[in-house]
A and B are shown apart, each in its own frame.
Chain A
Amino acid sequence: MSRGTRSGAAAKRQTHASVFAALGDETRLSLVAQLSGAQPRSIAQLTQGFGLTRQAITKHLRVLERVEIVHSVRTGRESLFELDPEPIEDLKKYLELVSQQWDRALSRLKAFVEG
């Protein structure tokens, strides 16, 4: 399934919840790591280095595709998989905002109890 026609609005409907869930698995995290900063890869390439079958890897890739972290492009008879960092970046940004708010609240707490 190509993701090329997906609209920006559809991307926003993506929930962080499902992205978190998709990444809450070691195999999928490793797949994401393998795909980051690299050329698109085939299932055969991605299966190397895992003690898992091609079918198992395909299943994990489908999960990542559903939350739109990964998408596949067809070249001839083969599907190549690529990383789409945007949902992960959104998630990181969101956690960063909450995190900054805590930094400030805790620094006020520090001033309060040490003052």
Chain B
Amino acid sequence: MENRIEKGIELKAPISRVWRALTDYREFGEWFRVKLNGPFVVGQISSGFITHPGYEHVKWEVVVQKMETERLFSFTWAHPKSLDKADYSPDYSKEPTTLVEFRLEKIAIGTLLVLTESGFDNIPSDRRLEAFRRNDGGWTAQMKNIEGYVARNP
């Protein structure tokens, strides 16, 4: 059974450009939709707040694992019990985590980005699945808005 997510995407941009979009905390925040408090530093917590309307109360907190220039950027990501405003009170130091890795490779048209998220076995998911079920409607609608916006404003 697959317990990881892996996605490859070809980007028509030089590897240095993609690396900056991933590892400059302001640029990362632009496309990921998160307001980060400061730069990514290996071994340290990166914190901030999600900027999706309706989810501004959701804290972003990851621990940066690896930054190998133009090759690999990775962090561990805590998964809180619930994203609902009413019962959102995560203790991030105790939440189970998954590992997110962005790998870059130079290709003819620009850059191949491979994203993996692994370690779903860590998640005691009776609660996770419920949280996602409750939130998926709003989240999906929001993502569609953004996609529409990007398409109209290239």
In the complex where A14-B126, A102-B117, A112-B31 touch, is A24 in contact with B1 (Cβ < 8 A)?
yes
Interface secondary structure of B, over-half rule: helix
- The B117-154 residues at the A interface (CB cut-off 8 A) are 117, 120-126, 128-130, 132, 136, 139-140, 143, 146-147, 150, 154
In the complex where A95-B2, A108-B31, A112-B21 touch, is A17 in contact with B129 (Cβ < 8 A)?
no
Task: Specify which chain B residues have a CB less than 8 angstroms from the CB of A21 in the assembled complex.
Answer: 121
CB <8 Å contact, B124 and A17 = yes
CB <8 Å contact, A102 and B5 = yes
In the complex where A20-B1, A106-B7 touch, is A101 in contact with B143 (Cβ < 8 A)?
yes
CB <8 Å contact, B120 and A102 = no
- The A65-115 residues at the B interface (CB cut-off 8 A) are 88, 90-91, 93-95, 97-115
Segment touching A, from B12-20, B35-43, B86-94: B12-20
Name B4's closest neighbour in chain A (CB-CB): A95
A35 contacts chain B at the CB level, 8 A cutoff: no
Complex A-B, nearest 6 residue pairs according to Cβ-Cβ distance, in ascending order:
A23-B1, A16-B125, A113-B13, A112-B31, A20-B121, A104-B143
A19 contacts chain B at the CB level, 8 A cutoff: yes
Interchain CA distance A12-B132 in the complex, whole Å: 14
Q: How many residues of B contact A (CB 8 A)?
A: 40
Interchain CA distance A108-B27 in the complex, whole Å: 12
Interface residues of B (CB under 8 A from A): 1-3, 5, 7, 9, 11-13, 17-18, 21-22, 27, 30-33, 113, 115, 117, 120-126, 128-130, 132, 136, 139-140, 143, 146-147, 150, 154
CB <8 Å contact, B1 and A104 = no
CB <8 Å contact, A105 and B32 = yes
